[in-house]
Amino acid sequence: MKRLAGKTAVVTGSSTGLGQGIAERFAEEGANVVTNARSTERAAATAEAIRDSGGESIGVGADVTRKADVIELIETAVETYGSIDIMVNNAGTTVEKPLIEQTPAEWRSVIETNLTGTFFGCQVAGEHMLDTDDDCQIINMSSIYGSGGVQGRAPYNASKAGIENLTRNVAVELADGSVQVNALAPGYIRTRLAEAPWGESIEDHPEWPYYEYADEHIENRTPLGRFGTHEAVNNCAAFLAAGEHYMTGEVLTLDGGWIAFGWGSKSR
């Protein structure tokens, strides 16, 4: 039996990358999936691909930095499918440049999309979930960068650290309503967003800060010696969404041992 049969899931930022993979996996597991992007056309494209593969999905354009948009997104899910059982707050962005060069607009863009967008998703979906007697799941997307400092990523790292503590707070507040709230913190996963600054060798990106993030560097810093895959993230997301666990307020880290290694480097 499909683990998510009869459930409705909303996945923000699901027109590409990890969000798209999670949305597709949830559909394979039997969920009604509401895909999302700022662009209605991009959200609809993912939904159409899911339907073409035999799943059930609609696409909704919404900007997660606007609470009114998030309300419309969630209400559309409820009106279409009758409930919202799973909320994945995945929409995110980043800026990569030295701290002193970052502009106020760049800071706000990252914080508002990543952290404020997750807050709105938890708040609006949580209110609907509290009105049901069913067990519900909220999954927030963090990162290994929520646990450390890295050159050029101050807004992103701050937003992810905020998401992790927000997850704990929301988990405590919603626990009486049978809502479990957890976060996923991936390490280096092969995605279009992540691949851009990486090369096949150290020499490909000698300029700061990318010289430290060539493939060889990442693999050398990861105890498992390889990048993560979409499938690994999808497996963890499906596990949390199924609710067959006794977890809430947790951050599930999938990083090949990166954090356990203390951000070190293996000998070559």
Q: Which of 145, 156, 188, 213 is catalytic?
A: 156
Query: Dihedral through CA 56, CA 58, CA 62, CA 65, nearest 10?
Result: -10
Q: How many other β-carbons are positioned within 10 Å of the β-carbon of residue 61?
A: 18
CA dist 240 and 25 (Å) reads 12
Q: For residue 46, which of 73, 19, 65 has the smallest C-alpha distance?
A: 19
Cβ-contact 245, 181 below 8 angstroms: no
Residue 211 is a catalytic residue: no
Q: For residue 112, which of 48, 158, 80, 167 has the smallest C-alpha distance?
A: 158
Pairing of strands 251-254, 56-61: unpaired
Tokens encoding 205: 């990106």
Catalytic residues: 156
